[in-house]
Structure 1
Amino acid sequence: MKITKDHAKRILLSYQNLLPPKRIQCSDGILQFVRKVGCLQFDPLNIAGMNTDLVLQSRVENYRPEMLYKLLYEDRKLIEGFDKNMSLYPVEDWPYFERFREDSKANIRSSEHIDEIADHIMKEIEVRGPLSSQDFDFDKKVGWYWAPTNVSRAALESLYWRGELVIHHRNGTRKFYDLAGRCMPENLMRRSDPNTTEEDYHRWHIRRRIDSIGLFWSRSGDAWLGIKGLNSSGRIAAIKEMVHSGELIELEIEGVEYPVYIASSNHELLDRCLVIDEPFEAAFLAPLDNLLWDRKFIKSIFEFEYVWEVYKQPKDRKYGYYVLPVLYGADFVARFEPVLDKKKKILNIKNWWWEDEVTVTEEMEAAIKKGIDDFASFLGAVSVVSPARLERLLKKL
């Protein structure tokens, strides 16, 4: 089946609850969305909202971070774990990641130093309740994955990756751990991995990744990270089998070199997304939004090139440190650099860049200004940069 790029855009954005945006209602809607896409990628940076919150604010009406906090740490319907890098996912998916936990038990770094204190840490948490690395006074430093760190932090993270601890709650970026058995439903703790073979696991995780985006190709890229033991040739072969079995539908997009795939269960999107029957609205996307996991894929369809420049030196950045894409209708029309002054509760829009060839209409300007007001409310900002300065920033030169 052959579709146009415009049709592909509408399929992707409709699946991602971005066409139209901000229609998801309440916590049940958030949970339903996360179950659909499998996971949301976690990142601790908080310049103007954390990545997971930024993902949800573009999709959920009147979203506030405490809605996600409640699902994670009070209702425990979601859990933090490793999927596509560090992520959060539905708690019922816990058994599917057993092989990650078993791998951590066998291959964790600095294991000899961690083993010396692991039992003590587990006993302390059992008696005292949820604890963080600051609640232990071990002085030893050990080599760790990103940099040398205190052995207590390494031990807590190791026990977490092994599945013996879970993150009970956070205070800012500080993590408090508790025994998994006290936080997880007993039936999930007892349940073994439903994927009994590596082939079953690969097919499950491939389908999960395609569902994370909605429509995707088989080319290598960041969206395929975290699938244990699967190389490029294995992935391509598995996808071919999944098309043959009817689990996936293969599509050709006009002007795109590689075929793309959608789950057969989502075939109704193909007809439903032939036209846009909603008024255009604006949405601001997270830098690690599921839609943006493969930047080459997005460029091939939307002709929008986005690079997250936080890891670049200032002199090497084309735009800025923490820049968010701006979606209007089915197109990326701009990008901007927001910074929240957390003490004064002021949203400062440092810069705004329109995409080439964009014509700013009165409707687009109104939609974007409403988007800015909504974004400020999500952040708890009491004001935005002065109206006069905002007008200058948004002016299309």
Structure 2
Amino acid sequence: MNREVIISMEEARNFLVNYHNLNQARNLKGIEGVMECFRQMKSIQYDPLNVVGRNADLVLQARVSGYEPGMLYELLYQRYELIDGFDKEMCIYEADDFNKFRRIRAACGETAKERLACREQFDALNVLDDVREHVKRYGLTSSKDISIGESRASRWGHKKLSSAALDYLYCTGELSVKEKRGTHKYYDFTENVVPKEILAQEDSKSDRQFLEWYIKRRIQSVGLLWNKSGGAWQGHFISNIKLREEILAHLVHIGEVQMVLIEGIESPFYMISKDERFFDVNLEKKHVKFLAPLDNMLWDREMINRLFDFNYRWEVYTPIDKRKYGYYVLPVLYGNQLIARFEPEKPKKNEPFSIKNWWCEKNITITDELLEQIQHSIEDFARYLSVQCLDTYEDIILKQEEE
């Protein structure tokens, strides 16, 4: 490709679907398929809410055939090939990249100090040695295992200074999450979590080289990204649009990044040059996929609205009377179109998977083929959740269309 190409909106959508394997073209399966997703997207955002799986599980079930949540748990807390850490926000990424994130951890530590000061909990820093000694003596430690100091000055944050101290040591990378029980974190010193050969790797990048690496990495997380402020550019070091513009221009100049112009959109887009192969995948067979609320492809909501004509807002934190749709609503992809959204019920033991509401986008025609694909995807989704599935969900989908 040249350093600047012009593509249609259709080609842009196809590229993103191909890139994220939402058309099953790469036939990703099992734990190796999960690792391939991380090699491709670099980071997946973590969120503790669990209605039909946590965000990372939902991201992976849309891309990996036969995915089960235990696969991610095994890679995180048994094999330690993945690790919890800060990237865009709280994310999961390959343990091999741990040392490359030292600048991010240092910045997170400073942010944590500011947060402690704002909450009048700065005294947590005075008990760091006590917390270190506890972890050294007892090993695996959660916030409920240690109780030092108490903070009542603020209604925000941890009530125990030791819990705030654990969180600070985690932010700086001195501690890492070695195990999780539900959403509860159990910490140990990082040298007891990250393989020694990874910790021994030197990160000799200059500040400039780090920024180039980090900006390329963020593009890889989405696949195709414009240089407009939004969710995809959140995080330390890269929120400055002018700085990004200058570094992107350099990366285009040296051929590592490709500038892409999309018909009808003034702002240029960027992709990693070697990823041009994702323009060539055939999309003849359309699949229905249920996307996570914080899916990598949806990180920039304005960009998705322009490309897919799909206005999506996650309304979990929106007051009930101000919600347009529902509490936990998932977008529905069909081929290269976002055609609907639905609100699932939290699965109950010995009860089949249930859909509370289903909303189709305007101008979407419900065909027998589409209903068949939706049913197939619901069956696979129920399998991923380890719950039963009804013979058909046609009535609830067609009911919304009639309304």
Q: TM tier, shorter chain?
A: over 0.9
Q: Structure 1's 280 and 247: CA in aligned 2 closer, same or farther, altered over 3 A?
A: same
CA distance in 2, matches of 1:50, 1:214: 22
Superposed CA deviations along residues 258-289 of structure 1, whole A, max 9, x for unmatched, are 1111111112223x14x423x21111000000
Q: 1:128 deviation in Å?
A: 1.9
CA distance in 2, matches of 1:36, 1:54: 17
Matched, 1:283 2:293: no
Q: The residue matched to 1:29 in structure 2 has which SS?
A: helix
CA contact (8 A) 1:142 1:151 kept: no
CA distance in 2, matches of 1:201, 1:181: 23
AA paired with 2:396?
L
- Equivalence for 2:70: 66
- Equivalence for 1:269: 278
Superposed CA deviations along residues 330-367 of structure 1, whole A, max 9, x for unmatched, are 11111000122344454321000011101111111011
Q: 1:382 deviation in Å?
A: 2.8
CA contact (8 A) 1:131 1:176 kept: yes
TM-score if structure 1 supplies the norm length?
0.93
- Equivalence for 1:216: 225
Deviates more, 1:206-215 or 1:12-21: 12-21
CA distance in 2, matches of 1:231, 1:164: 28
Q: The residue matched to 1:52 in structure 2 has which SS?
A: helix
CA contact (8 A) 2:87 2:104 kept: no
Q: Which of 291, 294, 306 is the aligned partner of 2:300?
A: 294
CA contact (8 A) 1:22 1:61 kept: no
Superposed CA deviations along residues 113-152 of structure 1, whole A, max 9, x for unmatched, are 2233222222222222211101113350267895353222
Q: Structure 1's 249 and 369: CA in aligned 2 closer, same or farther, altered over 3 A?
A: same
AA paired with 1:247?
E
Q: Which of 305, 313, 330 is the aligned partner of 1:307?
A: 313
Q: The residue matched to 1:296 in structure 2 has which SS?
A: helix
TM-score if structure 2 supplies the norm length?
0.92
AA paired with 1:375?
F
CA distance in 1, matches of 2:155, 2:188: 22
CA distance in 1, matches of 2:351, 2:201: 46
CA distance in 1, matches of 2:197, 2:38: 21
Structure 2: gaps spanning 5 or more residues: none
CA distance in 2, matches of 1:344, 1:118: 46
- Equivalence for 1:196: 206
Matched, 1:93 2:97: yes
Superposed CA deviations along residues 174-211 of structure 1, whole A, max 9, x for unmatched, are 111111111112233233434222x2122111111111
Q: Which of 16, 19, 44 is the aligned partner of 2:20?
A: 16
CA contact (8 A) 1:63 1:378 kept: yes
Structure 1: gaps spanning 5 or more residues: none
Deviates more, 1:296-305 or 1:141-150: 141-150
Q: Structure 1's 19 and 194: CA in aligned 2 closer, same or farther, altered over 3 A?
A: farther
Count of paired positions: 390
CA distance in 2, matches of 1:295, 1:21: 25
CA contact (8 A) 1:202 1:230 kept: no
Q: Which of 323, 329, 346 is the aligned partner of 1:323?
A: 329
- Equivalence for 2:196: 186
1:100-179 matches, cutoff 5 A:
100-106=104-110, 108=113, 109-110=116-117, 112-141=122-151, 147-179=157-189
CA contact (8 A) 1:20 1:329 kept: no
Superposed CA deviations along residues 16-69 of structure 1, whole A, max 9, x for unmatched, are 111237931111121121121110000010111100000001111111100000
- Percent pairwise identity: 37
TM-align CA RMSD: 2.0
CA distance in 1, matches of 2:286, 2:223: 21
Q: The residue matched to 1:347 in structure 2 has which SS?
A: coil
AA paired with 1:51?
N
Q: Which of 238, 241, 252 is the aligned partner of 2:247?
A: 238
CA contact (8 A) 2:46 2:90 kept: yes
Q: Structure 1's 81 and 251: CA in aligned 2 closer, same or farther, altered over 3 A?
A: same
- Equivalence for 1:351: 357
- Equivalence for 1:394: 397
Q: 1:105 deviation in Å?
A: 4.5
